[in-house]
Structure 1
Amino acid sequence: MIKGTGESDRHQAVEEEFFSGQPDSTIGKAGRREKAALVDLLFRQSRAVLFANLIIPIPVAYVLWEVAAERWLLLWIATIWLLTGVRILLSHRYFADSEKASRAGSWARHFTVLSIFSSLLWGAIGWIGFVPQEPHFIAFVCIVLTGMSGGAIPSLSAYPPAYIGLLLAMQIPFALRCIGQGDSIALTYLAFQACLVGVYLYYCRETYIALMTTVRLRFENLSLIEGLEHERDRATAADQAKTRFLAAAGHDLRQPIHAIGLFTATLAALAKNGDVSGAEARDIAGRLQLSVGALGRLLHGLLDISRIEAGLVSVERQPVSLSQLLAQLCNEFTPRAEARGIRLRVVNSGEWACSDPALLKRILDNFVTNALKYTPAGGVLIGCRRRGQEIAIQVVDTGFGIPADRQVAAFDEFTRLHESEGEAEQGLGLGLAIVRRLATLLEHPVTLASIPGRGSVFSIRVPVIERPVLSAATTKGSLGDLRPAGIMIVDDDPQLVEGLKTLLSLWGHQVYAGTTAADVHRHHKAAGRPRVDLIIADYRLSGGLTGTSAIADLAEYLGYAVPALIVTGDTSPERLRKLTETGHALLHKPVDPDVLYEAIDRTLSEGSPIRPEEALATD
């Protein structure tokens, strides 16, 4: 049991329940469950009371045969037996009720009403057997009533109103006779009766507290067991997800790496045989970019999950033009649909919604990507349906469809809706898992309806708002050309340093790079200590150093604050949270050149990091 203050508080709460008699509608789910368990105890433990009602009336009638009319005693016995039969029938119906837990209060009230009627019959003995000229009869009925009242404590304390009703119904007639008699013996009996009533109520309360505590501890133990089972199931599911991931990664991560190796070997063989023509170089470079892009999408899918779980994806709600949003989807996905021979149709809408435009588009991107991926022929429709104060943005396809038993699992990590051989962008099955997390973050309900062989409908519901009044200042222009800048680079991998230095130099920047901050100092000094506009640092450096410490070292060397980009391959939610707290912009390996270009431009022009949700990948 819980000790100390907790136990005292629990007993106080139980006592309040004992005296309040609150209805089911005012207590919580746990309270209703506990009450149902106590009512069940009430019916189970009342069997002793029912047995007593069948047996004890016979000797009582025998003793009182001299002072009461025979027909009244026989009627009294018959009535008690009739009521006992009704109570037995009630008990039988209770145990046969499959929904008794939800109707526990009603069953308890029925039990209490019949118990009070039966107790009133017993109380009549206190009136009939109170014969002032025969003190032994008064003592007899007093013993019977106090014995019946005391014996009912274990049986009826699970539901205090039932016991209180029994106690009062049995004792009040005898008390009224004592008050009416008024002599010293009658008042002595009355005082004795009052003391016993107080003692019985006390023991009823203590028994109820013990029963309630036992029931609560039982449910707490069951909750602990359920919690352990849930954690076990979660661990099992995580292990199965890891197995699915490793199985998927075993193929999907090897594919682009294998392609990169082949194209690199091809380039090396061409160079060995002679000069490589510009056309050949561009063709191989293009294929390498496609392979690197495919690898990046796979890895960024994993990173997106970590970003969301780390709480790094913030929601910035604003008016969203569904017309513009649908137009973006149409422009982005039409070429892909045409390449697959699929008709993509968009039904425009003039409504405006309140949402985060970046996150909402990311969700719809995943919907459309899945629709195109799993629709071998036919079409995909993107449209909207008004639903009161909300609007459902729907993506309808004529693809494979999803069986009903897989529709919930479709939103789990590493779940592929269908296996398709030769699909270049099969993915790791993270797209809909990201959708589920983002929709929860936005508080936008997501639904799926599907018929195998006929297609699927993915839908997200967003709140509708009035069209806002827009000014010219509210529209941002596109990013301008990247201006030349002085950039410091720190990375403990010499090949990455050289590759990044070459790329940034081709973009027109003056680069000072090295594997340590000291190397960068030396190169910068050799160049005459020119102005530095940006620092790019890998997070994990040799010697146990980090990119944040290198940035601090370089800023101290320069003597002025410089915006910085941290490049990391770490996907740990806790690590991402800590890196975000540094205030530096983050880039995640592998870094797409276009993303790097935009990040440098934005950091130089605005000094603002890329929002994590803007880098979320589509699976």
Structure 2
Amino acid sequence: MPGKPIPATTLQGQLEAEKIEVLFRNTSFALITNLLLSAGLVWVLWNVAERNTLIAWWAAIIVLVIARLGLLVCYRRRAVTGTRPWHIYLTVATMLAGAAWGAAGTLFFNPDSTIALIFITITLAGITAGSVASYSSWRPAQYAAIPTGLPIALSYLMAGGDFWIMGLMCILYLFNVLASARQVSRVLDESIRLRIEKQGLVRQLQDEKKAADQARMRAEEANLAKSKFLAAANHDLRQPLHAVNLFVEALRHAPDAARAGEILEHLQASTQSLEGLLNELLDISKLEAGLFKPQVSVLRLQDMFDGLERELRPVAEEKGIELGFVASRLAILSDPQMLGRVLRNIITNAIRYTDRGAVLVGARRKRDGVAIAVYDTGKGIAPEHHQAIFREFYQLENPERDRRKGLGLGLAIVERLCRILDHPLALRSAPGRGTAFFVQAPLAAEGTRLLETNEEDSPAELEGWSVLVIDDEAVIRHAMAEVLGGWGCRTLTAESAEEALAMIEREGVVPDVIIADYRLREGHTGSEAIARVRKAIGSHIPALILTGDTAPERLREASASECFLLHKPVHPGRLKSALTRLQELVHEQGL
């Protein structure tokens, strides 16, 4: 793919900078030439010209050499002395030097001394020609050749006799020098331009190669992380499933009810473990899909601390460690659910990896917000693991994948939730010194209305509600009918939209709510089935979509529909809460 051309403004600036650099680089040689030729001219004319005039002229040449040398030093030190137009100063000094040399062609023009006349003419011709090489990069400086060569040409013309031919030759010579200088300048400009463009293309190719290498490395790291993620998830999913199969078989051969009750407790524990893992995986997928949208409000930290203490103190006491919360009067701006999840995961993790001592939670006001800190007296984390612990399924000291030590998803969820909330997350830890996590949240302005946290909704009764269940799995339809029937609902079940419409027509019942699985047979979706039923009945019936698909694009697609979304496995309590919420919305909107 061809590289983009360098912008004209940038190229022009680089070209001018390069030409000025060449101008100053060649100036040092011109200064040496000026000193040598002026000294030689003084020596030749010492017994021919008027000495005071000769000394004054030589002094002027030396002063101009020193001045240009000073400008050269200032240019080399321009990063220290600041940005000034040193090239303009040098051009002016060069023009003055050219005029001083040209004055020699008038002051010391002596037709009676052939040697002096020849030496002056050759010297001035050399100075004029030397300007082509010295000042070819900077065209204004080339015009110093005019005050250098023109005075002696005029002197020859004014001398009369045969000298007018020399005057004419000097003028032709000066014109030829200026023309040559312009040609050399154009060639040099083109050479510098090509070099700058080449360097720009080389840098661009290097940048593109570097970007491509970085993208390739990120892709390889992502593939490796995905492989590790799937391998760990596969292991952790299979373990509780394996236990479920064993307990089911044991339940079949249970000798008595007491033994069956024990097996049922183990079976329930295995299913809860499986559900916990699936929920963690679902949260990771939701985060990837961007489905978590912060609902920022003002909340009192003490209310959140009190809730977390009630919830997690028994866990800490069971392990024999102390869990403490420092009282706080601060109020912050955040999403209470998401921030609660962040702190809950961090505190749970701290309790899990602290064998003795305490876990302390507190907050302090900072200039740009509130820093919520969770300290523990655990083993600590080595610096090389500070970034890795926020990756999915990454766990320290758990190579056997013991689920009692967690799943390795808690901190991954914490890091992504903090990113969504725009709450900076920091970690300070060292082996043997415990760990401290810091979450920074914006401070709420004084006088802002606080979020009411004590409000509790009273569940509504579902007795008499008609529920249409659309699922292509017969066992799921049967289980849903049993659960919904137990809540007093009248249930219609169908495996497709066509069957659902036929059943509605046959039974003469319009459902109060629709529950549909997201994936149906022949590539159809629950969203499509709900839309068809609504269109056929002519009413916007409230609906729930159940899905086990955790692909981010699928989650976004399901969430975009005008339906509530629940993720499998759905706990009956969550299902009842969702139906209750739908019932409340129906009453509020008068549907």
Shorter-normalised TM-score: what interval?
A: 0.7 to 0.9
SS of corresponding position for 1:369? helix
The equivalent position to 2:486 in structure 1, one of 506, 511, 517, is 506
- 2:113 aligns to what? none
Please tell me whether residue 269 in structure 1 is matched to residue 242 in structure 2: no
Please tell me whether residue 217 in structure 1 is matched to residue 201 in structure 2: yes
> CA 1:51 to 1:136, structure 2 compared with 1: closer, same or farther past 3 Å?
closer
Q: 1:202, CA displacement in angstroms?
A: 6.4
- 1:465 aligns to what? 444
In structure 2, C-alpha distance between the alignment counterparts of 1:187 and 1:444, rounded to whole Å = 79
Please tell me whether residue 138 in structure 1 is matched to residue 121 in structure 2: no
The equivalent position to 2:364 in structure 1, one of 368, 385, 401, is 385
Q: 1:337, CA displacement in angstroms?
A: 1.6
In structure 2, C-alpha distance between the alignment counterparts of 1:588 and 1:108, rounded to whole Å = 68
In structure 1, C-alpha distance between the alignment counterparts of 2:91 and 2:449, rounded to whole Å = 78
Q: 1:339, CA displacement in angstroms?
A: 2.1
In structure 1, C-alpha distance between the alignment counterparts of 2:317 and 2:310, rounded to whole Å = 12
In structure 2, C-alpha distance between the alignment counterparts of 1:290 and 1:479, rounded to whole Å = 29
SS of corresponding position for 1:400? coil
Q: How does 1:107-256 map to 2 (within 5 A)?
A: 124=97, 127-128=100-101, 130-132=104-106, 133=109, 134-150=120-136, 153=137, 168=141, 171-172=143-144, 175=147, 209-256=193-240
Asked whether the equivalents of residues 302 and 327 of structure 2 are also in contact (C-alpha less than 8 Å), the reply is yes
Asked whether the equivalents of residues 124 and 149 of structure 2 are also in contact (C-alpha less than 8 Å), the reply is no
Asked whether the equivalents of residues 425 and 438 of structure 2 are also in contact (C-alpha less than 8 Å), the reply is yes
- 2:303 aligns to what? 324
Q: 1:430, CA displacement in angstroms?
A: 2.6
Structure 1 letter corresponding to 2:574: V
Please tell me whether residue 347 in structure 1 is matched to residue 330 in structure 2: no
The equivalent position to 1:586 in structure 2, one of 558, 562, 565, is 565
In structure 2, C-alpha distance between the alignment counterparts of 1:212 and 1:370, rounded to whole Å = 57
- 1:106 aligns to what? 79
Please tell me whether residue 432 in structure 1 is matched to residue 429 in structure 2: no
Q: 1:470, CA displacement in angstroms?
A: 4.7
Q: Which moved more, 1:319-328 or 1:296-305?
A: 296-305
Q: Structure 1, residues 537-574: CA drift from partner, whole Å, max 9, x if none? A: 11111122111121123223433221111112222222
Q: How does 1:597-612 map to 2 (within 5 A)?
A: 597-606=576-585
In structure 2, C-alpha distance between the alignment counterparts of 1:284 and 1:520, rounded to whole Å = 39
Q: 1:251, CA displacement in angstroms?
A: 2.8
Asked whether the equivalents of residues 376 and 435 of structure 2 are also in contact (C-alpha less than 8 Å), the reply is yes
Asked whether the equivalents of residues 363 and 370 of structure 2 are also in contact (C-alpha less than 8 Å), the reply is yes
In structure 2, C-alpha distance between the alignment counterparts of 1:172 and 1:243, rounded to whole Å = 73
SS of corresponding position for 1:508? coil
Asked whether the equivalents of residues 295 and 334 of structure 2 are also in contact (C-alpha less than 8 Å), the reply is yes
Q: 1:509, CA displacement in angstroms?
A: 1.9
Asked whether the equivalents of residues 175 and 190 of structure 1 are also in contact (C-alpha less than 8 Å), the reply is no
Q: Structure 1, residues 317-350: CA drift from partner, whole Å, max 9, x if none? A: 1101101111111111112222222221111211
Structure 1 letter corresponding to 2:247: F
SS of corresponding position for 2:197? helix
Q: Which moved more, 1:132-141 or 1:510-519?
A: 132-141
- 1:615 aligns to what? none
> CA 1:42 to 1:142, structure 2 compared with 1: closer, same or farther past 3 Å?
closer
Asked whether the equivalents of residues 518 and 525 of structure 2 are also in contact (C-alpha less than 8 Å), the reply is yes
Structure 1 letter corresponding to 2:281: L
Structure 1 letter corresponding to 2:12: E
> CA 1:406 to 1:122, structure 2 compared with 1: closer, same or farther past 3 Å?
farther
Asked whether the equivalents of residues 489 and 511 of structure 1 are also in contact (C-alpha less than 8 Å), the reply is yes
In structure 2, C-alpha distance between the alignment counterparts of 1:607 and 1:59, rounded to whole Å = 104
Please tell me whether residue 337 in structure 1 is matched to residue 323 in structure 2: no
SS of corresponding position for 2:443? strand
Please tell me whether residue 300 in structure 1 is matched to residue 279 in structure 2: yes
In structure 2, C-alpha distance between the alignment counterparts of 1:305 and 1:319, rounded to whole Å = 26
Asked whether the equivalents of residues 374 and 400 of structure 1 are also in contact (C-alpha less than 8 Å), the reply is yes
Please tell me whether residue 490 in structure 1 is matched to residue 470 in structure 2: yes
Q: Structure 1, residues 430-489: CA drift from partner, whole Å, max 9, x if none? A: 322222222122211110000212210011011112354659989643241442321111
Asked whether the equivalents of residues 489 and 537 of structure 1 are also in contact (C-alpha less than 8 Å), the reply is yes
- 1:11 aligns to what? 8
In structure 1, C-alpha distance between the alignment counterparts of 2:494 and 2:13, rounded to whole Å = 73
Q: Structure 1, residues 37-63: CA drift from partner, whole Å, max 9, x if none? A: x8xx998x8998499569867985697
> CA 1:370 to 1:580, structure 2 compared with 1: closer, same or farther past 3 Å?
same
SS of corresponding position for 1:253? helix
Q: 1:210, CA displacement in angstroms?
A: 3.8
Rg larger for:
2
In structure 1, C-alpha distance between the alignment counterparts of 2:384 and 2:401, rounded to whole Å = 26
TM-score by length of 2: 0.78
TM-score by length of 1: 0.75
- 1:419 aligns to what? 398
SS of corresponding position for 1:540? coil
- 1:26 aligns to what? none
> CA 1:584 to 1:145, structure 2 compared with 1: closer, same or farther past 3 Å?
same
Q: Which moved more, 1:305-314 or 1:355-364?
A: 305-314
Q: Structure 1, residues 19-52: CA drift from partner, whole Å, max 9, x if none? A: 7x8xxxxxxxxxxxxxxxx8xx998x89984995
> CA 1:269 to 1:61, structure 2 compared with 1: closer, same or farther past 3 Å?
farther
Structure 2 letter corresponding to 1:131: G
The equivalent position to 2:515 in structure 1, one of 532, 536, 539, is 536
In structure 2, C-alpha distance between the alignment counterparts of 1:585 and 1:523, rounded to whole Å = 23
Structure 2 letter corresponding to 1:502: E
Asked whether the equivalents of residues 122 and 145 of structure 1 are also in contact (C-alpha less than 8 Å), the reply is no
> CA 1:232 to 1:454, structure 2 compared with 1: closer, same or farther past 3 Å?
same
Q: 1:131, CA displacement in angstroms?
A: 1.2
The equivalent position to 2:343 in structure 1, one of 364, 374, 386, is 364
SS of corresponding position for 1:146? helix
Q: Structure 1, residues 345-382: CA drift from partner, whole Å, max 9, x if none? A: 11121110011112111211221121122112222111
Percentage identity across paired residues of the two chains: 30
In structure 2, C-alpha distance between the alignment counterparts of 1:149 and 1:321, rounded to whole Å = 75
In structure 1, C-alpha distance between the alignment counterparts of 2:275 and 2:395, rounded to whole Å = 19
Q: How does 1:84-103 map to 2 (within 5 A)?
A: none
> CA 1:400 to 1:225, structure 2 compared with 1: closer, same or farther past 3 Å?
same
The equivalent position to 2:530 in structure 1, one of 527, 547, 551, is 551
Q: 1:180, CA displacement in angstroms?
A: 12
The equivalent position to 1:515 in structure 2, one of 471, 485, 495, is 495
In structure 2, C-alpha distance between the alignment counterparts of 1:288 and 1:181, rounded to whole Å = 114
Asked whether the equivalents of residues 284 and 413 of structure 2 are also in contact (C-alpha less than 8 Å), the reply is yes
Q: 1:514, CA displacement in angstroms?
A: 2.5
- 1:399 aligns to what? 378
Q: 1:143, CA displacement in angstroms?
A: 0.9
Asked whether the equivalents of residues 402 and 452 of structure 1 are also in contact (C-alpha less than 8 Å), the reply is yes
Q: 1:302, CA displacement in angstroms?
A: 2.7
In structure 2, C-alpha distance between the alignment counterparts of 1:11 and 1:423, rounded to whole Å = 63
Q: Structure 1, residues 569-605: CA drift from partner, whole Å, max 9, x if none? A: 2222222222221121212222233322222222222
- 1:570 aligns to what? 549
Q: 1:500, CA displacement in angstroms?
A: 2.1
In structure 2, C-alpha distance between the alignment counterparts of 1:426 and 1:550, rounded to whole Å = 43
> CA 1:66 to 1:352, structure 2 compared with 1: closer, same or farther past 3 Å?
same
Q: Structure 1, residues 141-162: CA drift from partner, whole Å, max 9, x if none? A: 2111122112xx3xxxxxxxxx
Asked whether the equivalents of residues 315 and 442 of structure 1 are also in contact (C-alpha less than 8 Å), the reply is yes
